[in-house]
Each structure stands twice: as structure tokens, then as C-alpha cells.
Amino acid sequence: MITAEAIKSKHSDVFTYLHGNLGSSAANCRVPADSCSASLVFVSDAQQIAQAFSHQPAIIVCLSTVSDSLKAANDQTCCFSVKVMPVGMATLLKYFDRKSARFTQWGQQHPTALVHPDARLGSEVCLGPYCVIGANAVIGNNCLIGAHAVIENDATIGARTVIHPQVFIGAGCEVGADCEIHPHTTVGGDGFGYAPGPDGRARKISHLGNVVIGNDVEIGSNCAIDRATLTSTHIRAGTKLDNICHIAHNCDLGEDGFYTAGFMMGGSTRIGRRFMTGGNSVVTTHVTVGDNVTLSGRSSVTHDVPDPGAYGGYPLQPLADAMRTAASLGKLNEIRKNLARVMRHLNLT
């Protein structure tokens, strides 16, 4: 729940108060068509504004470009404007997030949670059913550990981090403060490392390193982050991984990167700060990608990319060139036919 007065006093850097009852409070956030008198509603155009007003919600937040349409509001609804809607949503939706209730519904620590006597738990740690905390593991204050999660021996989890059900954190791995790791993700499985023996059969290379995750990192569901062979695989502070991403052994992901679904990378690759990529992109082994690089979806990186900028395609090109290449591919058969005619006309065939 949040009051209009709290929005005005705490978040004036994001929202501009327009008019209405600052005593209004919202207990939920809904789309305009489903809103009610206890709702906070985000609207982006005149049609949504009209739809919201028909339900008389407690609080309306509109884009500043359409704020003039709110002049006819009733006095009970409190109206704010925001310049960038996603920033407004990021600021306010957390007030309606009841995520902690999923973890605390059985009490602070479920009796089936298995905690090694040598593990160290901070204050207000929530342990869900059948979770496992290994020897010498350290769990920071106010962490939420979901059902069937496994935190192996010597692992460290920073304060206020959320580990969702069925997450695996391998031995010796480190997760920073204020992180969130979603279900079915593995942190610290062995990397894909083998050497052919004299008989031609693969010999497994043991992975003795770990994974180190910085503060304020979020990792989606069904991701796999491999431990290093001898050192550490790094995911640095502020990085966000979507679902179904694979980070290979010995990799280093710089601060504040955005990795969308299906991203894959080979081992021993380093990616700079503020990296952004569309879905299903691939970065090969043993390359370095510099700071402030953006990849379009389904791009493939097979060599170093030292310079900042937007890139796309395979082979990788500057984005403008990649878009022209993609547009040309649909006409490739026609181009070949026309070229064959020219060659015949010039008697070059």
C-alpha cells in the first residue's frame, strides 16, 4: 500500500503532483480496465485515462505528455505525472510486491530445513521447506531462502538476497547483497572442460574455482553459471540476466549489463560494463568485449569487440551494416539470377 502523500514527499524527483486528494491511498496496482477505488493506475494515453476515470481509482500516474487530459479529474483521485513510465513503475510497483509472503507463509524457518551445525545464519533469515544449508555456509541478514534450495558448503549469501525455490548455489560460491536468483538456476556447476586421452576418450578437467556474484544482481530462471577451473567466474554488480542464459567457466561479466533470454557464452571470455544484448545472442570463447557494447538479437560474436557501439548479425557488423545485410538476404536468389544474366551478357561464363 502507498499513499499519494508518500509519493509526493518521497519521490518528487520522479513524479510531479498535479492535483487531487493527497490523502488517497492505494492497496493494489491494476490496469485501467480492472481498477477500483483502492487502485493505483498507470496510464499512457487519453483512452486509458478515460477508462481509468470511469472506475475512480485512488491514484493515477500518467505520462507527462498527456497530463493535460487529467484536468477534468474528480477531487478524490490524486493525479501525478511522470516523464518516463518504466521509471515510474520501477519506483512504485515495489510497494505492492508481496514476494516475502511466499517465503514466510510457513513461519521464519520451516522445521524441515536442513542446516549444518557449522553454518552461520544472520538475523531474520527465512528458510523454506526442505532447503539445505551446508557446512560453513554464511547467510546474511534478512535473506529469503526458498523451498528445496541448496546452498552448499562454504558458500556465502549477502544480506537481503532472495534465493527462490529449487536454486542451487555450489560449494564456495559467493553471492552479494540485494541479489535475487529465480527458480531452477544453477550457480557453480562444473564447466564444460575435457581433454582427450591416449585412447581418444575424454578426460574430465576438475573445476576447483568458484562463482563470485556482485551486489544488486538479478538472475532469471533456468540459468546456468559455471564455476571457474582454478579462479573465479565473475558476474559483477548491477548485472541483470534474463531466463535461460548460460555463462561458461572463467568468464567475467562487467557491471550493469543486461543479458536477455537465450544468451550463451563460451569460456574465458570477458565482457565490459553496461553491455546490452537482444535474445539468443552468442559470444564465443576467449574474446574480449569492451564497455558500452550493444548487440541486436541473434547476434554472434567470434572476435574481440574493443569499441563501444551497436552491432548485429553473423558475422558481426556495425548495426547499420547488419540491418542492410539482413534486408539483402531476402533478395539473394534474385540477386544471383540477375548477376548470372550480367555474366552471360558479358560472356564471362
> What CA–CA distance (Å, rounded) separates 186 from 227?
10
CATH number for the domain that contains residue 145:
2.160.10.10
Q: What is the pLDDT of residue 116?
A: 98
Instruction: Please report the pLDDT score of residue 331 as a whole number.
Output: 87
Distance CA 126, CA 45 (A): 42
What's the CATH code of the domain at 35?
3.40.1390.10
Please check whether residue 159 lies inside any domain of the structure: yes
pLDDT of 67: 85
Catalytic residues: 249
The number of distinct structural domains making up the chain is: 2
Asked if 212 and 306 sit in the same domain, the reply is yes
109-119 core/surface letters (b: 16 or more CB in 10 A; e: else)? bbeebebeeeb
Q: Provide the residue range defining the domain that includes 41.
A: 2-96
172 and 252 share a domain? yes
* 334 assigned to some structural domain: no
Query: Same domain, yes or no, for 111 and 91?
Result: no
- Residuewise pLDDT in 10s, the chain (349 residues): 999 999 999 999 999 999 999 999 999 999 999 999 999 999 999 899 889 988 999 999 999 998 887 765 567 799 999 999 999 999 999 999 988 888 999 899 999 999 999 999 999 999 999 999 999 999 999 999 999 999 999 999 999 999 999 999 999 999 999 999 999 999 999 999 999 999 999 999 999 999 999 999 999 999 999 999 999 999 999 999 999 999 999 999 999 999 999 999 999 999 999 999 999 999 999 999 999 999 999 999 999 999 999 999 999 999 999 999 988 888 888 888 888 888 888 887 7
State the pLDDT at residue 76: 79
174 and 117 in one domain? yes
In a domain, 336, yes or no: no
Assigned domain for 330 exists: no
Structure pTM? Answer: 0.91
Q: According to the model, what pLDDT value does residue 74 have? A: 64
